[in-house]
């Protein structure tokens, strides 16, 4: 379990590490990309600033060189002064070309309106200069011009000088702004680099921390795995030793075909086969036909609950004799995810032989005691009657004690003989239509001694005359047994009630109700067992053999009835039996709807289940244990859907009542919570209420009734 927990933690750490690594790597890539873009922007800004400054400076310098000292104006003035066209014409022509070219460059560099205006002023000034030059050049070419050339060549260049100065200042200003912009972008880039670098560093530190934690967890998990494997090897060794040395038979079975995969020495020796021979056989080959139905039921139980509860069966030994066993098992899955069943087989041959020996001994002793007890009782009765003479007063008390105890012994022997006949199937029943009213009245009359002894009153009132199909003497025996128990367990001056319920077409329900201490919780599972009493000590206050209720159960069963009880500690008990009213009650249920008891305190859940099962069953709903007991008493049920947690108690308390009233009734627990192992082994299946669909519910129920056409059943109503 620790390894599983660490594996889950380990997987979470790996996922976290992968996630942070992915984030870190993504961040690094994004950081690199954005950093590259930032530096490209810085470089572009610096280049743009530097290129503008250089181009503007070069263009302006070229203009100054072409127009200033040694340039156009200088050469133009010398031409005017010296009238040497041959010398100065080439120079001036080159200066004009350079001026026009530099002005064109300046025109491309400067885009603002005021800058364009300054360039236009320069162009206008030099346009005037160029026009004056052409005039002077023409005059000089004609020759003999003696006029004043200085007047002709006079040009005002104030605007041009101002414009040039304006451009120089603008170049400085633009260069300064571009430099500042580049510096700003550079600062932003470095700030981005710093922040991004810190974030990346934090991610790298976090990733390193997670990696260290992960490595530690890996080493720890590896160590735990080593310890787990070591423990597993030890467990396997211990299991192998237990498997081989166990005195109880153990077999691994394939549930699909019933073949044996493994079998220990105890099982193979009990069947008188070698292990190799046993592995070549199947469960079906070794099972007598009369036990195959029980095997099928266990397979159904296994399919639903992954286990099957203990049940008794027999196997063929190699010599053909029968081996009596009690077996139980549970499902596992192998490495291929195939289902296998571990089955534990206990040899109960000696237990069966001892039980048979005990029963034979009880039967023999009972028969042998009956004759002498009859003689002793008769002799004591003769002495007490005075037929043989007067009995001294000193002897009368002793004879009374002897007579009372001889009656007790006679009753014990009679009970033992009755039970022996019932178990052996040798008791003959004289089933006939009898008056239930007369039978109850006669039984109350026979209880007069008991009622006086315990100071108890029996109350019974029934206006209509009801008849049942039963053996009069045996049904009276049942009633007297139940009444005697009720009287013994009532308080002094108490009342015992007999109640008859005539609510069904085929059955009557008779209840004997006392208001005493009730059946103790720890005794309820044993109520109908032989020789069982709530107070089993040598000093118990109430006398009895512990056979009365066991005999009642056998007798009622023989008369096609059912018996059960309801009890609340401190409030009393109700013991009831259901007996046929008419002969030939139809026991064929194949054509009928299922009768299902649904115990649930949630009304919405009640309605949902009733709607889901309406096609296959009559659902009798009970919201608490009290209502559930009434339905169990009134109806012959096929199945119970049980909510464990109820307003007036635990649903588990109902299971003991069902065990006695309808022993083979399948119970499906419906719960919102996980149930304890003590509860799950008592029920046939467990279904969670969450997401409980009609299909799941119907398919689970159909598993218990494979031969009935449930969807086409008709209601008994």
Residue 227 lies in a domain: no
Q: Is 105 exposed, middle or buried (0-12, 13-18, 19+ CB in 10 A)?
A: middle
Residues 549 and 440 in one domain: yes
Alpha-carbon distance 442 to 447, whole Å? 9
- pLDDT at residue number 424: 66
Q: pLDDT higher for 60 or 468?
A: 468
Alpha-carbon distance 667 to 670, whole Å? 10
- pLDDT at residue number 578: 92
Residues 21 and 145 in one domain: yes
- pLDDT at residue number 590: 52
Residue 469 lies in a domain: yes
What does each C-alpha distance from 644 to 569, 624, 640 come to in angstroms?
A: 20, 10, 12
Residue 194 lies in a domain: no
Q: What average pLDDT does this structure show over 182-196?
A: 73
Q: pLDDT > 90: what percent of the chain?
A: 17
Residues 573 and 675 in one domain: no
Residues 5 and 82 in one domain: yes
Which residues span the domain enclosing 21? 1-176
Q: Is 391 exposed, middle or buried (0-12, 13-18, 19+ CB in 10 A)?
A: middle
Residues 386 and 500 in one domain: no
Residues 74 and 59 in one domain: yes
CATH of residue 337: 3.30.450.20
Residue 713 lies in a domain: no
Domain count, the chain: 5
Q: How many CB atoms lie within 10 A of CB 465?
A: 9
Residues 261 and 341 in one domain: yes
CATH of residue 654: 3.40.50.2300
Least confident of 128-132, 143-147, 445-449, 482-486: 143-147
Residues 471 and 615 in one domain: no
Residue 101 lies in a domain: yes
Least confident of 4-13, 139-148, 248-257, 278-287: 4-13
Residue 485 lies in a domain: yes
- pLDDT at residue number 583: 63
Residue 52 lies in a domain: yes
Query: Domain ends where: 176, 208, 230?
Result: 176
Least confident of 124-138, 199-213, 566-580, 628-642: 199-213
Residue 160 lies in a domain: yes
| Average pLDDT of the chain, as a whole number | 79
Residues 274 and 403 in one domain: no
Least confident of 480-494, 599-613, 684-698: 684-698
- pLDDT at residue number 63: 79
Residues 449 and 551 in one domain: yes
Query: Domain ends where: 385, 405, 424?
Result: 424
- Taking only the tens place, the pLDDT of each residue in 59-111 is 777 877 877 766 777 887 787 788 888 888 888 888 888 888 888 888 887 77
CA atoms within a 13 Å half-sphere pointing along the CA-CB vector of 136: 29
- Taking only the tens place, the pLDDT of each residue in 121-174 is 888 888 887 888 888 888 888 775 666 666 676 777 777 777 777 777 777 777
Residues 445 and 527 in one domain: yes
What does each C-alpha distance from 335 to 160, 243, 343 come to in angstroms?
A: 101, 20, 19
Q: What average pLDDT does this structure show over 321-349?
A: 89
Q: What average pLDDT does this structure show over 576-599?
A: 77
Hey, what are 522's tokens?
A: 């720890």
Q: How confident is the model at residue 420 (pLDDT cuts 50, 70, 90)?
A: low
Residues 2 and 118 in one domain: yes
- pLDDT at residue number 327: 92
- pLDDT at residue number 5: 44
Q: How confident is the model at residue 572 (pLDDT cuts 50, 70, 90)?
A: very high
Hey, what are 417's tokens?
A: 């003989």
Query: Domain ends where: 372, 395, 424?
Result: 424
- pLDDT at residue number 540: 39
- pLDDT at residue number 707: 61
Q: Is 529 left (phi over 0), alpha (psi -120 to 50) or beta?
A: beta
- pLDDT at residue number 48: 62
């Amino acid at each position: 379990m620790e390894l599983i927990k660490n594996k889950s933690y380990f997987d979470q750490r790996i996922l976290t590490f992968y996630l942070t690594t992915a984030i870190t790597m993504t961040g690094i890539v994004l950081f690199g990309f954005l950093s590259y873009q930032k530096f490209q922007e810085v470089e572009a800004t610096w280049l743009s600033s530097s290129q503008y400054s250089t181009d503007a400076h070069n263009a302006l310098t070229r203009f100054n060189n072409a127009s200033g000292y040694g340039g156009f104006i200088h050469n133009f003035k010398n031409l005017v002064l010296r009238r040497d066209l041959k010398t100065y014409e080439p120079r001036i022509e080159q200066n004009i070309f350079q001026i026009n070219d530099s002005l064109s460059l300046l025109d491309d560099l400067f885009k603002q309106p005021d800058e364009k205006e300054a360039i236009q002023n320069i162009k206008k000034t030099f346009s005037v200069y160029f026009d004056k030059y052409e005039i002077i050049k023409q005059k000089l070419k004609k020759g003999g011009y003696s006029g004043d050339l200085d007047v002709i060549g006079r040009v005002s260049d104030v605007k041009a000088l101002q414009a040039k100065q304006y451009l120089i200042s603008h170049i400085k200003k633009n260069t300064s702004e571009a430099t500042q912009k580049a510096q700003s972008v550079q600062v932003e880039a470095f700030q981005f680099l710093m922040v991004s670098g810190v974030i990346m560093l934090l991610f790298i530190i976090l990733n390193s921390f997670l990696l260290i934690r992960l490595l530690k967890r890996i080493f720890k998990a590896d160590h735990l795995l080593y310890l787990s494997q070591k423990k597993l090897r030890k467990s396997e060794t211990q299991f192998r030793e237990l498997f081989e040395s166990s005195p109880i038979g153990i077999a691994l079975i394939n549930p699909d075909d019933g073949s044996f995969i493994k079998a220990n020495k105890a099982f193979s020796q009990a069947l008188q086969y070698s292990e190799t021979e046993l592995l070549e056989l199947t469960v079906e080959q070794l099972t007598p036909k009369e036990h195959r139905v029980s095997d099928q039921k266990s397979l159904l139980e296994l399919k639903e609950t992954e286990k099957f509860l203990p049940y008794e069966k027999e196997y063929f030994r190699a010599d053909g004799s029968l081996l009596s066993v009690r077996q139980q098992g549970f499902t596992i899955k192998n490495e291929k995810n195939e289902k296998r069943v571990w089955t534990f087989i206990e040899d109960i041959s000696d237990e069966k032989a001892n039980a048979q020996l005990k029963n034979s001994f009880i039967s023999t002793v009972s028969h042998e005691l009956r004759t002498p007890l009859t003689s002793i009782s008769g002799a004591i009765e003769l002495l007490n009657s005075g037929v043989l003479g007067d009995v001294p007063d000193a002897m009368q008390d002793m004879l009374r004690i002897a007579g009372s105890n001889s009656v007790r012994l006679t009753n014990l022997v009679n009970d033992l003989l009755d039970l022996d006949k019932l178990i052996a199937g040798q008791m003959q029943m004289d089933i006939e239509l009898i008056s239930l009213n007369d039978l109850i009245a006669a039984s109350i009359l026979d209880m007069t001694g008991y009622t006086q002894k315990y100071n108890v009153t029996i109350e019974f009132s029934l206006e209509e005359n009801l008849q049942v199909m039963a053996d009069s003497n045996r049904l009276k025996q049942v009633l007297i047994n139940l009444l005697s128990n009720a009287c013994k367990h009532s308080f002094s001056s108490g009342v015992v009630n007999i109640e008859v319920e005539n609510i069904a077409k085929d059955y009557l329900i008779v209840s004997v109700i006392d208001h005493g201490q009730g059946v103790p919780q720890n005794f309820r599972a044993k109520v109908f067992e032989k020789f069982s009493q709530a107070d089993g000590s040598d000093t118990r206050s109430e006398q009895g053999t512990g056979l009365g209720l066991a005999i009642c159960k056998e007798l009622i069963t023989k008369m096609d009835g059912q018996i059960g009880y309801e009890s609340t500690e401190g409030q009393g008990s109700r013991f009831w039996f259901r007996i046929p009213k008419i002969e030939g009650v139809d026991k064929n249920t194949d054509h009928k709807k299922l009768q299902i008891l649904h115990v649930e305190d949630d009304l919405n859940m009640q309605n949902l289940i009733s709607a889901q099962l309406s096609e296959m069953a009559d659902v009798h709903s009970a919201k608490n244990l009290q209502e559930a007991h009434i339905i169990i008493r009134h109806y012959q049920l096929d199945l119970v859907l049980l909510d464990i947690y109820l307003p007036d108690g635990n649903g588990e308390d109902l299971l003991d009542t069902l065990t006695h009233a309808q022993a083979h009734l399948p119970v499906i627990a419906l719960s919102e919570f996980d149930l304890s192992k003590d509860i799950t082994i008592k029920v046939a299946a467990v279904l969670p209420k969450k997401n409980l669909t009609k299909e799941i519910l119907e398919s689970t129920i159909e598993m218990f009734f494979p031969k009935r056409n449930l969807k086409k059943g008709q209601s008994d109503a």
